[in-house]
Structure 1
Amino acid sequence: MQEAQKYSRYSFLLDRTARRVKQYAKQRFRELGWSITVDQWTVLKQLFDRGELNQRELADLTFKDHPTMTRIIDLLSTKELIIRKAHPDDRRSFKIALTQSGQQLVEECLPEVQSIRMKAWENLSESDFKEFKRILDSIYDNLSL
């Protein structure tokens, strides 16, 4: 039982840290007066990096379920940051792409988002970072489906 309690504590710490990272980013987005959420940012960034994607691809890349991704896409479309295009190979599907405004928003926000991420790594050495990455990769691999 001791072993299970120890690992439960580590899981709690991992969850707590992930929530803090998101809360910090959410707070900074608000302070900067941005009209997007952290979840919306992740979708915009994937489209910026990868180009047009379908909804399933976006959901997989951002670890969102289908209903959540639909809501995010609807909101970003209303804000005219993305557009839906007919899928060339599937009439029942569509591709999602950044609009010019979406492209500009990502370019404007990117330096600050990078700064937000760097805040999390303050006071960690390169050795710390490498060990942390190794551990997270191991946990991820252990839980691969």
Structure 2
Amino acid sequence: MPDLPSDTTELAARFQNLATRLLRQARVLDGGSAITSAQYAAMSTLYTHPGIPLTELAALEKVAHPTMSRLVNALIGLDMVARTPHPTDKRTVSLSLTAAGRAAYERVYARRLALMGALLARLKPETVADLIENLDAWLDPKT
């Protein structure tokens, strides 16, 4: 077991470094994928919220509307996302993953799930439970 710094700032810096390396490892696993991490994040939201408009997608992803517009346009160009007229509001369009987009998202998700599973399997069950409880409370204070 490595020595942990006693200073909270040092511990936070260490955790930040580990989180960055974990995300890098996830991107390495996604190396065969044509989608970027930002595109994957948007696809994840569209996977769980199909048919939402661009403004809502941008808000959920916490990015500016023009940024999300460029990202979605790139995904449309890759045939990962489709625009369809909104059923009730003709001024807006709904965004959904295409069949190819769902398949690509599910492939990347499976690889990332395996990576996280391998990491979590190395931890004690009570450590995992504590980590999840604290992350849930931190990331979604409503729970």
Is TM-score (shorter-chain normalized) higher than 0.5?
Answer: yes
Tell me the CA shift for residue 48 of structure 1. Answer: 2.3
Q: Check if 1:119 corresponds to 2:118.
A: yes
Residue 99 of structure 2: aligned partner: 100
Matches of 2:133 and 2:7, distance apart in 1 = 20
Is 1:26 matched with 2:18? no
Distance 1:140 1:46, change over 3 A: closer
Alpha-carbon distance in 1 for matches of 2:9, 2:64:
26
Name the structure 2 match of 1:44. 43
Q: 2:3 corresponds to which residue?
A: none
Instruction: Trace 1:1-145 onto structure 2 (pairs within 5 A).
Output: 6-30=7-31, 33-140=32-139
Q: Against the structure 1 CA distance between its residues 54 and 14, is the aligned structure 2 distance closer, same or farther, given a 3 Å change threshold?
A: farther
Q: Which moved more, 1:71-80 or 1:117-126?
A: 117-126
Instruction: Provide TM-score, normalisation by structure 1.
Output: 0.74
Single out whichever of 92-101 and 51-60 deviates more from structure 2.
51-60
Structure 2 gap ranges (5+): 1-5
Runs of 4+ more than 6 Å apart: none
Whether the aligned pair in 2 keeps the contact of 1:21 and 1:120 (CA below 8 Å) is no
Counterpart secondary structure, 2:134: helix
SS in 2 for 1:84: strand
d(CA) in 2 for partners of 1:76, 1:15: 30
Q: CA deviation at 1:61?
A: 3.4
Q: What is the one-letter code of the residue matched to 2:22?
A: V
Bigger helix fraction: 1
Counterpart CA distance in 1 for 2:133 and 2:99 is 38
Q: Which moved more, 1:72-81 or 1:98-107?
A: 98-107
Contact 2:26 2:115 in 1 (8 A): yes
1:120 and 1:102, CA in 2 relative to 1: closer, same or farther beyond 3 A? same
Distance 1:141 1:51, change over 3 A: closer
Q: After the TM superposition, which of the residue ranges 133-142 and 120-129 deviates more from structure 2?
A: 133-142
- Report the residue type matching 1:133 in the other structure: I
CA contact (8 A) 1:22 1:38 kept: no
Q: 1:141: Cα distance to partner?
A: 6.0
The answer (yes or no) to whether the contact 1:48–1:103 under 8 Å persists in 2 is: yes
Percent identity, aligned pairs only? 23
- Structure 1 pair 12–89 and aligned structure 2 pair: CA distance change class (3 A): farther
